[in-house]
Amino acid sequence: MSKQAVVVVDFQNDYLTSGSWPLVGIDAAVHKAAKVIEDARSKGIRVIHVRHENPAGAPFFIAGSQGAEIIPAVAPKDDEQVVVKNFPNAFRDTDLKTQLEADGVKDIVIIGAMSHMCIDATARAASDHGYNVIVVEDAAATRDAEFNGMTVPAYHVHAAFMSALDFAYGKIVKADEYLK
């Protein structure tokens, strides 16, 4: 296997059940993500955290707020880098690609939130940049979505986006499979 990095996308306090933009299944996803992160650390695999910031007036992740802080259970340790982004795609207007290239990374493992926004955008961009992409789907979470007056349950939103990513952008696995 080529050099790998785990990219932890937007696991921030506002997504917790106590936050301003809670996700369905966030606690279970954070639990699985913590296992993936610990495994990476134990193997010397680089872990990069991505934190989204929005301007005042946005419904969540207001820059400088407690809600924009990374969830403690998956927070950076030691010299782990934190990339701050302002768009769903973690590569857009950040130095994420430069960091990965400097470290010779070819394989990216993506965990985090939301499945249908930042996980999708980051996985597609990573694939477009030529990285081999793995998304650990049970270490990711989302919420119900609305379309044409219809509520789409979070489970269906997650499944649809994982299906699309698995079709053309990377490999979708469960944490237990990844950790074997």
Q: How confident is the model over 161-174, as pLDDT tens digits?
A: 999 999 999 999 99
Burial class (CB in 10 A: 0-12, 13-18, 19+), 36: buried
Q: How far apart are CA 111 and CA 9, in angstroms?
A: 6
- Residues 55-79 have a mean pLDDT of 96
Q: How confident is the model over 88-99, as pLDDT tens digits?
A: 999 999 999 999
Which residues are designated catalytic? 10, 85, 118
Q: Is 163 helix (H, G, I), strand (E, B) or coil?
A: helix
Beta bridge partners of 52: 85
pLDDT range class, residue 34, cuts 50, 70, 90: very high
- Residues 54-70 have a mean pLDDT of 96
Tell me the residue range of the domain where 46 lies.
4-179
Q: Is 108 helix (H, G, I), strand (E, B) or coil?
A: strand
Q: Is the pLDDT of residue 143 over 70?
A: yes
Q: Is the pLDDT of residue 76 over 80?
A: yes
Q: Is the pLDDT of residue 2 over 80?
A: no
Burial class (CB in 10 A: 0-12, 13-18, 19+), 132: middle
CATH number of the domain that residue 35 is part of? 3.40.50.850
Query: How many structural domains comprise the chain?
Result: 1
Predicted confidence at residue 1, as pLDDT, reads 52
